Amino acid sequence: MDLSRLDRRVIFVLMGLAVIIPILFNITTDVEITRDTLDIYNEIEDLESGEFVMISFDFEASSYPEMYPLALATLNHLFKKNLKVIGLALFSEGTAIGYTLLSEVAGRYGKQYGADYIYLGFRPQYVSAILGMGESIIKVFPEDYLKRPVEEYSEFSGLSGYDDLPLVVSIADGSMPIHWADYANARYQQKVAVACAAVMVTAFKPYFESGQLIGPAAGIKGAAEYEKLLKQRGIAHRRLFAQSTTHVFIIVMVIVANLAAFRGRRR
């Protein structure tokens, strides 16, 4: 059989089946915890109850299936630890997503808006926003997402700059963590932990190795590891088996295609 003449749609159908079958049978799989995910987990775990943590929703709707489990796991940890969460978005598309996620998880833990968490919303020009928050968070975000003055929330009115934040967590599908490293970490020595899309890991790796960023919990595997650390098996565990079967399928296809190419060349 000449594989070079195989209709590419056959591969699409097989790929679809490799995803659908594990989902239909709802099979979950175990995952080993890596040092990277453990780093971000420990960093949050070491914080004292009641301390402020900023979480930046630096992703867009297009990467939602990958970012949702990561954001969910991180927020679960933050609220479980009774930390005061300050949410914001540095991408306009992430604004509404961030608010929805924050409210959803906060609701599960019975947290009150304004007392346990606030959502600052979006600011254009992320460089100015990151730098400005080093001087004063309230100056950059005088109003929250609901258009109320931040100073009206007594729990958050005393916020100054990064001095009051032991940790910033960036949930990112793009290069935003590099800007956090460039401007918040380099200028203000702010600790920045990262939960990111798997596609960005190699781009960020030098920053993690140098200690400029903490983490990362990356992709669906990172989310599953985080769920395991929290002892809350959820959506990431469910998706992980489908991910594994698809990877096996892709590896098989790469091998078969290469063998077919070698055979074709010999002819």
R_g (Cα) of the chain, nearest Å = 21
211 binding other proteins? (CB under 8 A): yes
Among 33, 38, 47, 201, binds other proteins (CB under 8 A): 201
Please identify, using beta-carbon distances, which residue of 115 and 256 lies nearer to other proteins. Answer: 256
Site for other proteins in 224-243 (CB under 8 A): 239, 242-243
Pairwise CA distance, residues 84 & 154, whole Å:
12
Q: Is 255 a residue that touches other proteins (CB under 8 A)?
A: no
CB of 76 to other proteins, least distance (A): 19
Pair 214, 208: CB distance under 8 Å: yes
66 near other proteins (CB under 8 A): yes
Cβ–Cβ under 8 Å, residues 193 and 58: no
- Does position 37 bind other proteins by CB under 8 A? no
In which residue are the tokens 């990431």 written? 236
259 binds other proteins (CB under 8 A): no
Residue 189 in contact with other proteins, rule: CB under 8 A: no
Which run of H or of E encompasses 120?
Answer: strand 117-122
Using the rule CB under 8 A, is 131 a contact of other proteins?
yes
User: Does residue 143 interact with other proteins by CB under 8 A?
Assistant: yes
76 binds other proteins (CB under 8 A): no
8-11 long-range contacts, Cβ below 8 Å, gap at least 24?
A: 11/253
Pick one of 42, 210, 248, 261: the residue that binds other proteins (CB under 8 A): 210
Residue 122 to residue 120: CA distance in whole angstroms: 7
183 interacts with other proteins by CB under 8 A: yes
Contact 23, 240 (CB under 8 A): no
- Residue listed under structure tokens 């074709």: 264
Q: Whose CA is closest to 227, among 22, 88, 29? A: 29
Out of 41, 52, 59, 122, which residue is the one contacting other proteins (CB under 8 A)?
122
Residue 59 binding other proteins, by CB under 8 A: no
Cα–Cα distance measured from residue 111 to residue 122, given in angstroms and rounded to the nearest whole number = 22
Interface residue list for other proteins (CB under 8 A)? 9, 12, 15-16, 19-20, 23-24, 26, 62-66, 68, 92-93, 95, 121-124, 127, 131, 143, 181-183, 185-187, 197-203, 206, 209-212, 218-221, 239, 242-243, 246-247, 250
